[in-house]
C-alpha cells in the first residue's frame, strides 16, 4: 500500500467528506487515490486561498476537522493567509502541501520551498515527513493537535517520493475526537461567590460562545444581566430577547456603547472573546473599568493581554457556563421568564442606499438565511442595521479581515449545512480577488446567492482615507464593470440592480432557488460615511 493511501484511509475513518484544494504534480498521488474513495469528494477550487476559506467555514459549521491541500511552492504559499485566518479563529484544519523528493531538497528543484517554517507561526504544528513509514503517524499527530485544547490549524508537508513509497499494512490509529477542556471547579466556586455579592453586571460575548448560546442565555436570565456581543458574534443571539443590547465594537450599536460607557455595572463576564481591537472599539478601557472582571476562554493567552482580569477561568465556554448555571440554581437564582420583545425594524424608504438595499434584501429572503459577510464598507451596514432573525445567521470575519473570504466561506458553510439558505454579501473588490469561485459553486451545484455590492472602487479604503487624510486617491476607483453580464457568460443566473424598484421579491426568490449559484449585482456608489461607530472618530483624529 502506498503511504499516501494510508493517510486517505485514515481520513476516511474520521468521516472526512471533503478535501478542499487544487491538484498539481506534488500532490497528484493524493488525488489519484481519491478515485477509489468515493466517500471523500475533492472540492477543486480556482485559487488555493479561496479553498482555505471554504475549509475554514466547513470546520466552523460542521464542527469537524476540515482538510485543505495544495502543491509545493506557490500552492503552499497561497494557503498561508487561510492558515493565519484559521489560527485566529481557532478552527481545526489539516493543511497538506506537496514537497519535492527528499533527495532533491536544496538542489533548486521545481517549485521547491521549505514550507515548514512559514507555517510554524500561523499553525499549532508544522512538519515535513521525510520517511514513508512516519507519514501516517505524523498526520495522526497533527490531527490530534488540531482538535485538542485550543483547536487550530496544522500543517504537514508531503514529499512526492514519500507519498508514493510502499509501506507494509499496519494498524490504523483511532481518529481523534476533541475532549472538552475542563475548568478548575475551584475557580467556578470563586466566581459564584463573587456573583452572589454583585447586584448589576453585564455579559460580553464573543464568537467563542458559538454552540453555547442556550447556556449563555440561561446565565443572563438567572442573573438578570444584559448581553452585548462583539461584531464577530453578531447573529448568535436573536435581537428579540429583552436582555440583548446589541453589538459593541466596530459598527456597533449605541445601546451597547451606552451600557459600557455610561452604565453603573459592577462586573462584567467576558465569554469567548479575545477582546481585540474590532471587538472593543479600539480597546475602550470602560469595558472593565471599575468592574470585577471574569473572563472565560479555552485560550489562556487571551487573559490579561490588554485588560486586567480579576478571575480568569480556563476551560470550554459551554462547560464553564453550564457549571455556573448549576451553581446559581443551587444558590436560589431562579431563571426568569422573558417574553420576546418586538424587534426594532428600521424603516426602508425609497432612497437607493446601501442601508436600504440590505434591509430590503433581508426582508425578502428567508428568516433562516445565513449571511457570510466579506470585507468592505457594506460590512459595517450589515453589523449596524441588519436584524438577527435566526441563531448563527451571520459569518463576519472582521477579526482577521481577509478580502474575498466571504466568497469561499459561503461555499464551505453551504456544504456543512446544505439545508440552510446561504447568501454571500461581498463587494466588487473582493469579487475581483476570489470571484471565480463562482465557477466552483457552479461545477458542484452549490446553491449560494452572491450579492455583490459594486461601487467601482475600494470603498472601505476610500472612506478610510477620506476620514484620516481628507482625501482619497483617484486610483482607489476603477472603471465600472458589469459583473452580472460577466456571470451570464459563465452560465450563472444573474441580475443587476440599478435602483430600489429592481429589488422585487420574485426575482430574488428565483435567484435564491437556482440550481446552483446565482449573482445579484447591486450597482451603487454610496458616499455616505458607513456606520463604523467609534472607528470614524479614531480615523478622523488619527495622527492629530
- Residue by residue, DSSP assigns 117-164 as HHHGGGSS-EEE--SHHHHHHHHHHHHHHHHSSS---EEEEEEHHHHH
Distance, CA of 437 to CA of 150 (rounded, Å) = 30
> In this structure, are residues 95 and 59 in contact, taking their beta carbons and an 8 Å threshold?
no
Distance, CA of 203 to CA of 537 (rounded, Å) = 26
pTM: 0.94
Using the predicted structure, report yes or no on whether residue 538 has a pLDDT greater than 70.
no
Q: What is the mean pLDDT of residues 386-405?
A: 92
Distance, CA of 226 to CA of 335 (rounded, Å) = 14
185-330 matches 3-164 in CATH topology:
yes
At 108-138, the pLDDT tens digits run 777 889 999 999 999 999 999 999 999 999 9
> In this structure, are residues 31 and 23 in contact, taking their beta carbons and an 8 Å threshold?
yes
> Domain segments of the chain: what residues?
3-164, 185-330, 354-541
Distance, CA of 357 to CA of 351 (rounded, Å) = 9
Q: What is the mean pLDDT of residues 269-289?
A: 96
At 89-106, the pLDDT tens digits run 999 999 999 999 988 888
Q: DSSP for 385-428?
A: H----STT-EEE-TTT--TTHHHHHHHHHHHHSTTS-EEEEEEH
Superfamily of domain 185-330: TPP-binding domain (3.40.50.1220)
Mean per-residue pLDDT over the chain, rounded: 93
> In this structure, are residues 483 and 431 in contact, taking their beta carbons and an 8 Å threshold?
yes
pLDDT band at 169 (very low <50, low <70, confident <90, very high): confident
Burial group, residue 41, by CB count within 10 angstroms (0-12, 13-18, 19+):
middle
Residue 152 corresponds to which cell in the numbers above?
Answer: 487550530
Half-sphere exposure of 74 (CA within 13 A, CB side): 6
Note the pLDDT of residue 462. 56
Using the predicted structure, report yes or no on whether residue 245 has a pLDDT greater than 50.
yes
Tell me what percent of the residues of the chain surpass a pLDDT of 90: 84
Better-predicted residue by pLDDT, 505 or 466? 505
At 195-240, the pLDDT tens digits run 999 999 999 999 999 999 999 999 999 999 999 999 999 999 999 9
Note the pLDDT of residue 109. 78
> In this structure, are residues 55 and 20 in contact, taking their beta carbons and an 8 Å threshold?
yes
Note the pLDDT of residue 385. 96
Using the predicted structure, report yes or no on whether residue 43 has a pLDDT greater than 60.
yes
Superfamily of domain 3-164: Thiamin diphosphate (ThDP)-binding fold, Pyr/PP domains (3.40.50.970)
Cα–chain center distance at 513: 25
Which alpha helices (DSSP H) does 165-241 contain, by range? 185-196, 213-223
Q: What is the mean pLDDT of residues 140-154?
A: 97
Using the predicted structure, report yes or no on whether residue 478 has a pLDDT greater than 90.
no
At 21-33, the pLDDT tens digits run 999 999 999 999 9
Distance, CA of 347 to CA of 368 (rounded, Å) = 21
> In this structure, are residues 58 and 412 in contact, taking their beta carbons and an 8 Å threshold?
yes
At 360-381, the pLDDT tens digits run 999 999 999 999 999 998 999 9
Using the predicted structure, report yes or no on whether residue 142 has a pLDDT greater than 70.
yes
Residue 38 corresponds to which cell in the numbers above?
Answer: 468515493
Tell me what percent of the residues of the chain surpass a pLDDT of 70: 95
Residue 161: how many other CB atoms lie within 10 Å: 17
Using the predicted structure, report yes or no on whether residue 526 has a pLDDT greater than 90.
no
For the chain, the first-to-last Cα distance in angstroms comes to: 66
Specify the CATH class of 354-541 in words.
alpha beta
Distance, CA of 214 to CA of 450 (rounded, Å) = 31
Using the predicted structure, report yes or no on whether residue 544 has a pLDDT greater than 70.
no
Note the pLDDT of residue 469. 76
Q: What is the mean pLDDT of residues 245-265?
A: 94
Q: What is the mean pLDDT of residues 508-525?
A: 95
Angle, helices 48-62/80-89, rounded to nearest 10 degrees: 20
Distance, CA of 515 to CA of 230 (rounded, Å) = 35
Using the predicted structure, report yes or no on whether residue 470 has a pLDDT greater than 80.
no
At 301-349, the pLDDT tens digits run 999 999 999 999 999 999 999 999 999 999 999 999 999 988 888 889 8
Amino acid at each position: 500500500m502506498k503511504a499516501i493511501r494510508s493517510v486517505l484511509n485514515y481520513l476516511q475513518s474520521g468521516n472526512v467528506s471533503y478535501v478542499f484544494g487544487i491538484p498539481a504534480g506534488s500532490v497528484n498521488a493524493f488525488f489519484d487515490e481519491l478515485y477509489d474513495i468515493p466517500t471523500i469528494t475533492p472540492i477543486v477550487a480556482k485559487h488555493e486561498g479561496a479553498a482555505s476559506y471554504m475549509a475554514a467555514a466547513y470546520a466552523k459549521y460542521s464542527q469537524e476537522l476540515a482538510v485543505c491541500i495544495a502543491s509545493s511552492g506557490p500552492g503552499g504559499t497561497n494557503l498561508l493567509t487561510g492558515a493565519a485566518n484559521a489560527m485566529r479563529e481557532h478552527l481545526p484544519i489539516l493543511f497538506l502541501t506537496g514537497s519535492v523528493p527528499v533527495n532533491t531538497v536544496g538542489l533548486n528543484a521545481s517549485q521547491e520551498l521549505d514550507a515548514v517554517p512559514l507555517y510554524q507561526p500561523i499553525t499549532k504544528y508544522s512538519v515535513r515527513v521525510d520517511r514513508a513509514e512516519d507519514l501516517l503517524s505524523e498526520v495522526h499527530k497533527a490531527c490530534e493537535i488540531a482538535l485538542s485544547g485550543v483547536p487550530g490549524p496544522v500543517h504537514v508537508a508531503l514529499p512526492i517520493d514519500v507519498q508514493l513509497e510502499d509501506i507494509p499494512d499496519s494498524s490504523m490509529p483511532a481518529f481523534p475526537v476533541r475532549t472538552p477542556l475542563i475548568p478548575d471547579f475551584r475557580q467556578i466556586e470563586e466566581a459564584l461567590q463573587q456573583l452572589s455579592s454583585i447586584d448589576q453586571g453585564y455579559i460580553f460575548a464573543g464568537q467563542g460562545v458559538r454552540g453555547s448560546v442556550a447556556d449563555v442565555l440561561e446565565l443572563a436570565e438567572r442573573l438578570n444581566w444584559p448581553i452585548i456581543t462583539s461584531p464577530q458574534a453578531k447573529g448568535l443571539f436573536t435581537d428579540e430577547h429583552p436582555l440583548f443590547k446589541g453589538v459593541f465594537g466596530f459598527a456597533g450599536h449605541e445601546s451597547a456603547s451606552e451600557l459600557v460607557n455610561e452604565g453603573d455595572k459592577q462586573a462584567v463576564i467576558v465569554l469567548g472573546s479575545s477582546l481585540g481591537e474590532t471587538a472593543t472599539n479600539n480597546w475602550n478601557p470602560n469595558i472593565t473599568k471599575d468592574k470585577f472582571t471574569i473572563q472565560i476562554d479555552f485560550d489562556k493567552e487571551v487573559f490579561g493581554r490588554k485588560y486586567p482580569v480579576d478571575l480568569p477561568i480556563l476551560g470550554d465556554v459551554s462547560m464553564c457556563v453550564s457549571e455556573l448555571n448549576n451553581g446559581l440554581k443551587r444558590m436560589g437564582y431562579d431563571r426568569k421568564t422573558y417574553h420576546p420583545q418586538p424587534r426594532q425594524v428600521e424603516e426602508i424608504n425609497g432612497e437607493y442606499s446601501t442601508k436600504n438595499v440590505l434591509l430590503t434584501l433581508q426582508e425578502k429572503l428567508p428568516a433562516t438565511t445565513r449571511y457570510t459577510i466579506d470585507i468592505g464598507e457594506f460590512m459595517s451596514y450589515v453589523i449596524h442595521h441588519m436584524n438577527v432573525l435566526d441563531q448563527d445567521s451571520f459569518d463576519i470575519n472582521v477579526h482577521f479581515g481577509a478580502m474575498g473570504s466571504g466568497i469561499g466561506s459561503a461555499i464551505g458553510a453551504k456544504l456543512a449545512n446544505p439545508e440552510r439558505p446561504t447568501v454571500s454579501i461581498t463587494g466588487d473588490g473582493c469579487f475581483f480577488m476570489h470571484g471565480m469561485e463562482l465557477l466552483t459553486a457552479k461545477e458542484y451545484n452549490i446553491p449560494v446567492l452572491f450579492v455583490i455590492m459594486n461601487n467601482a472602487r475600494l470603498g472601505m479604503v476610500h472612506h478610510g482615507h477620506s476620514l484620516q487624510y481628507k482625501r482619497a486617491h483617484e486610483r482607489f476607483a476603477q472603471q465600472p464593470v458589469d459583473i452580472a453580464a460577466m456571470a451570464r457568460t459563465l452560465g450563472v443566473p444573474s441580475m443587476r440592480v440599478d435602483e430600489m424598484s429592481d429589488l422585487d421579491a420574485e426575482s430574488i426568490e428565483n435567484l435564491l432557488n437556482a440550481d446552483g449559484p446565482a449573482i445579484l449585482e447591486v450597482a451603487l456608489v454610496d458616499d455616505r460615511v458607513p456606520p463604523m461607530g467609534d472607528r470614524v472618530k479614531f480615523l478622523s483624529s488619527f495622527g492629530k
